[in-house]
Structure 1
């Protein structure tokens, strides 16, 4: 080989190496950009939502006056349930700030505490009837504007968000702060209550239960049907144009936008079969249609991964085809099938569009207890809160997103663990 040829080869080789380094740099840059975007997203969500896990409470000295409560018989459950607890709260606020006069100023004073404060007082009296007629201290929920002020205030009142508060309210709040009558506690209400128009008493329990019931219906329907379809296509179906057509459509359905399944559910389950709107049963059936292609594809891949030698050995010992499938193929393929099912359930958990189409966007206060109770889902709850004008709903929206992401990450982590822990290498 001539010297000129060697120089040309070395030049081309150096050029290819530089191109390879640039290509590797492009890949690293793409990964870095993706991680930076993800970090920015998580930082923004956590930065806005972490304060929702704390809630502002105000300490009041209340007197459970039977006249104010309008209770004549403490053993009468109807009277106790319908008592004027807000009147007791208002009286406690007037006693704490006796110099407040005028209807407008009193309304501003009453706005320091949540409209749900009476429910806390009711729970205390129902748990301890002997409190009737007594005077005691109780911590009640602050209004969402006060909660926003306290959380944004920090150590510098000048940095606090005060757009919806009057000067007198600021003075009253600072007075309560100086006396230690305002503090932040863990927000149990966020996890115990259903939805509400009032941000300080709005919670995700109803939406969370709705999501769990919907996923329960989805799993009960989609997993057996998906596994059965995969077994038929892999073990029994003849290889012809019809089965090829089915396989192509299953693969295509996995890429269909989720809202199409919502329209299908609206047309079939609600319009044709006249099923009730906004219930987990219909939601689960719609999400079943959406997750079936994913489960079928993953189940077929798991069945294909079982070595043919195992099937042939079982049949050589006299086992029927059904026995081979039930006793050998299914047990060995089950880890892969469960992994695919969990990934499908995680996908279904985060879906919003199909549920919007079947009416699960309704405002639901009660906690659903069955698959035919009116309910909403966590992604839909996030959608509803994101459209609310109150500033306090911003942090609750981000907090609900954090909870949803926690469930999604957990489900995907379980799927990865199951695949690594249970799968067999041949």
Structure 2
């Protein structure tokens, strides 16, 4: 009887243990599914809102480059051609298409069918080819943001007139343009070829993308060699049980957990106020992000160097190699996959930072595309922040599109890390 009771007790205990393990697995699977569901909802929201930004509405206009209206001719000098009022010929074309429009407000709304960039497009063509003056040309101009939003189905024309941005007579103009095949949606090249703008239809990400690339270049050029050198010294050459080395190691680990805005304050106080580094440039941005990235790369590099088997180092030294030769010819090549992985992770973290860059002035409105590390610029996360704070509805989709581009950069960086790890990985 006692043996039978013991067996039943053991079976009951095993049954409870198996049930707990099964529940634990179910909880783990449920957690993964919930996390994956939230990720899908987030990505779907971003993509659904941002996808329309990759298309832009264009308006077709027949422009008569009348020399009497522009008050210039093909023999005029470059300054006269540059300063001519090309907006007049755009208005003349619209007035010819809709001759019955009267009243200041309606005329202003008529002009707002076409973006202000239309005049600049004509100006650039005339400067490149003055012989266009006196001829009639057909152009596809950017449509104003309200027209673009309507063409993408974001404005309901069935709402009462006082509850929507477009009036009934504007819908009549749009219908006429559609009937005459003068309105169409195209791939939005402006999003990648223009800098920032106050006008949504003219706003692009090229300035922010170039600013991010220059900033990341400065960060990589500074953080990678400094971090690898520091990690190599601490692992291979620093004296053991030394209080100064212990203090350095503790501070490196602590710096990895410091809020990023603190590095922005440090850059503002030291780099800008003390050393006089120009504000709002990729150079100052790269210097600040280098401070923030160094602890991450150092910690990852130390772990990679420590993972190299001691036998490889001992064999190299036994064959007569110096400690420096052992480090550069054996230890670092074998540790390179881990070092590169840590570097890419640190760079990806720096690419998505906003707070430290706000402190050093990279939140400024910059319309020009930077051409170097000393030009005023902004970065993609700051551009997203600026667009998200804009009241125009068309900036909402551009904000989501910019997030998609930023996520694309982050995914690309992680893929590069995986490929580099596979390329340099060695088995021992």
What TM-score, normalized by structure 2, do the two folds share? 0.96
Aligned residue in 1 for 2:175: 174
Aligned residue in 1 for 2:389: 387
Aligned residue in 1 for 2:281: 279
The 5 A counterparts of 1:17-32 are 17-32=18-33
1:230 lines up with 2:255 in the alignment? no
Aligned residue in 2 for 1:366: 368
Closer, same or farther: CA 24–159 of 1 in aligned 2, 3 Å:
farther
Deviations 1:325-368 (A, max 9, x none): 12221222222211211111111000000000111000001111
On the 8 A contact 2:74/2:133 being kept in 1, the answer is no
SS at match of 1:2: helix
On the 8 A contact 2:73/2:133 being kept in 1, the answer is no
Aligned residue in 2 for 1:45: 46
Mapped to 1, the partners of 2:154 and 2:327 lie a distance apart of: 65
Mapped to 2, the partners of 1:288 and 1:74 lie a distance apart of: 54
Deviations 1:91-150 (A, max 9, x none): 100011111122221111001111111122223323333221111211101000110011
Aligned residue in 2 for 1:399: 401
Mapped to 1, the partners of 2:160 and 2:374 lie a distance apart of: 45
The 5 A counterparts of 1:4-19 are 4-19=5-20
Aligned residue in 2 for 1:106: 107
Could you list the structure 1 runs, at least 4 aligned residues long, displaced by more than 6 angstroms after superposition.
159-162
Mapped to 2, the partners of 1:75 and 1:238 lie a distance apart of: 77
Deviations 1:365-384 (A, max 9, x none): 11111111111111000000
What TM-score, normalized by structure 1, do the two folds share? 0.96
1:151 lines up with 2:152 in the alignment? yes
Mapped to 2, the partners of 1:74 and 1:280 lie a distance apart of: 43
The 5 A counterparts of 1:181-330 are 181-240=182-241, 241-330=243-332
SS at match of 1:272: coil
1:419 lines up with 2:421 in the alignment? yes
SS at match of 1:311: helix
On the 8 A contact 2:366/2:376 being kept in 1, the answer is yes
Aligned residue in 2 for 1:139: 140
On the 8 A contact 2:74/2:131 being kept in 1, the answer is no
Coordinate RMSD, CA, aligned: 1.7
On the 8 A contact 1:74/1:80 being kept in 2, the answer is no
SS at match of 2:60: strand
Mapped to 1, the partners of 2:229 and 2:417 lie a distance apart of: 21
Mapped to 2, the partners of 1:315 and 1:50 lie a distance apart of: 59
Deviations 1:175-203 (A, max 9, x none): 10111110001111110110100000000
Mapped to 2, the partners of 1:132 and 1:160 lie a distance apart of: 45
SS at match of 1:424: coil
On the 8 A contact 2:101/2:107 being kept in 1, the answer is yes
Closer, same or farther: CA 276–118 of 1 in aligned 2, 3 Å:
same
Mapped to 2, the partners of 1:76 and 1:296 lie a distance apart of: 60
Mapped to 2, the partners of 1:76 and 1:352 lie a distance apart of: 46
Mapped to 2, the partners of 1:235 and 1:95 lie a distance apart of: 80
On the 8 A contact 1:153/1:160 being kept in 2, the answer is no
- Please point out which of 317, 330, 333 is paired with 1:331: 333
- Please point out which of 409, 412, 425 is paired with 2:411: 409
Range that drifts further, 207-216 or 120-129: 120-129
- Structure 1, unpaired ranges of 5+: none
SS at match of 1:212: helix
Deviations 1:12-67 (A, max 9, x none): 11111111111111111111111111101110000000000100000001101122
Mapped to 1, the partners of 2:249 and 2:133 lie a distance apart of: 71
Range that drifts further, 114-123 or 64-73: 64-73
Aligned residue in 1 for 2:343: 341
Cα drift, residue 73 of structure 1:
4.6
Aligned residue in 2 for 1:120: 121
Mapped to 2, the partners of 1:108 and 1:376 lie a distance apart of: 33
On the 8 A contact 1:63/1:135 being kept in 2, the answer is yes
SS at match of 2:153: helix
On the 8 A contact 1:53/1:186 being kept in 2, the answer is yes
Range that drifts further, 355-364 or 256-265: 256-265
On the 8 A contact 2:195/2:208 being kept in 1, the answer is yes
